Structure 1
Amino acid sequence: MSREYCPKCGYPLVVCLCAAISPMGCDVDIWVLQHPDEASHAKNTARLLPLVLPQTRILCGESKTDFVDVQAELTARAGPLYLVYPQDETSEPDIAPCSAGAGQSGGRPLLLLIDATWRKALKMYHLNPWLHGLPRLSFQPQIGSDYRIRKAGRSDSLSTLEAVAHGLQCLHPGLDVAPLLAAQTAMVTKRLAAMPAQVRARYRES
């Protein structure tokens, strides 16, 4: 018997998230370069973004040739653009510090993110040298990730959704990102509840 899906949120009915989804207004565009493996991953958080931020675009691919059209669009686009990606310890200070304002002239700001496991995100970054020259927005989270249903490659790792929430607050200090975090919390809670007890026990309880 095939699994039934909610026509609104797109999740299986057993983990329908509609009750936890509250679209929020924001003048920042979100583009996500998504590794193909993430597109069908049940625990992926990027798929939550368009439900809360309708201006989100999910762009699937891995190498430079997969994103030729994306590069052309970004080149032609007006407005400040920031790649949300952690700085190396040896890198210069952030090009786009967390005090950066979104009110620059020329168009809406855009946050560009890579959606993948840490190892695959690093590979995608190296496969796409056009990303290296973009202004970068990086930050040190004040609190740890609440995304406890997938293993992280770094102690300071955030889910893609959490990275968006932090990025938005960097551009708009004081912005209420609760709708984003509530959607992720609901997804995590329902995924855990749907797991067999022996599987659920493997994950860290909050």
Structure 2
Amino acid sequence: MLKIILLTHPREMARANNTGQLVKQVLEDNVRVVEWHRKQPDTELLTAIEAEKVGLVFPSDETAQEAILPLFTYEYLVIIDATWQEARKMFNQSPYLKALPKVSLVDAPKSIYPLRRNQIEGGLCTAECAALLLNHAGESAWSTQLMELLMTFIES
């Protein structure tokens, strides 16, 4: 089973429209929510990074060759759970994230999540990203369950 670390911006924890909570609800113990702090990174996350067990799901400037294939080489995948503006700041202010190998999603479907402004082209919400990763990892039942929950979340 794919293990995900949601590196969550502190403001995201209180947002009613946060989709990271859906990922946690569906995947339960296969997701670890880590609140991001610029000056005090999570020690367990840093230990996993040092052991080269972690990949970062983040848009890459490199070629698409690194896309889904490296997904299976990591024990954990980090998804930054924040608005796109916050995610970029978190990435830029965290040298340990910049040093991580990136897993970029290619040929991702258009986002169905309309609840945030200033979305980047091709950007997905946290739940959509996790669902796509699960699907690529052969966990289609979990992916479907997560997308169904997201649809209900959007409609409510």
TM-score band (shorter)? 0.7 to 0.9
Secondary structure class of the residue paired with 1:188: helix
Task: State how far apart, in whole Å, the 2-side matches of 1:143 and 1:61 are.
Answer: 28
> Aligned pair 1:129/2:95, yes or no?
yes
Does structure 1 conserve the Cα–Cα contact (< 8 Å) formed by 2:5 and 2:76? yes
Aligned to 1:83: 56
Aligned with 1:159 (options 117, 125, 135): 125
Separation in structure 2 between the aligned mates of residue 95 and residue 129 of structure 1, nearest angstrom? 24
CA distance in 2, matches of 1:188, 1:120: 22
CA contact 2:6–2:79 (8 Å) conserved in 1:
yes
Q: 2:34 touches 2:42 (CA, 8 Å); kept in 1? A: no
TM-score between the two structures when normalised by the length of structure 2: 0.86
**C-alpha separation between the residues in 2 aligned to 1:50 and 1:115?**
12
Letter in 2 for 1:85: F
Aligned residue number for residue 35 of structure 2: 60
Alignment of 1:160-175 (within 5 A): 160-170=126-136, 172-173=137-138, 175=140
CA contact (8 A) 1:83 1:112 kept: yes
In the alignment, the residues of structure 1 paired with residue 147 and residue 123 of structure 2 have an alpha-carbon distance, to the nearest angstrom, of 15
Match of 1:93 among 43, 63, 83: 63
1:155, 1:101 → 2: CA distance? Answer: 22
Are 1:186 and 2:152 matched, yes or no? yes
**What stretches of structure 1 of length at least 5 have no aligned partner?**
1-26, 191-206
- SS at the partner of 1:178? helix
Q: 1:69 to 1:157 in 2, by over 3 A?
A: same
Q: Is the 8 A contact 1:165 1:180 kept in 2?
A: yes
Shift of 1:173: 4.7
2:35 partner letter: C
Higher alpha-carbon deviation: 156-165 or 132-141: 132-141
Asked if the contact 2:7/2:34 (under 8 Å) is kept, the reply is yes
Distance, in Å, in 1 between the alignment partners of 2:117 and 2:107 is 18
Say what the alpha-carbon RMSD is for the aligned residues: 2.2
CA contact (8 A) 1:82 1:110 kept: yes
Partner AA of 2:56 in structure 1: L
Aligned to 1:37: 11
C-alpha distance in structure 1 between counterparts of 2:116 and 2:31, whole Å: 23
Per-residue deviation, residues 132-162 of structure 1 (Å, max 9, x unmatched) = 2212110234421111122243121100111
Aligned residue for 2:106? 140
**Matched residues, number:** 154
Q: Which amino acid counterpart does residue 32 of structure 2 have in structure 1?
A: R
Determine what percentage of the aligned residue pairs are the same residue.
26
Q: Which runs of 5+ in 2 are unaligned?
A: none
Q: Deviations over 1:88-123 (max 9, x none)?
A: 3xxx32574313462x5xxx7211011111111100
* Larger Cα-atom Rg: 1
Aligned to 1:17: none
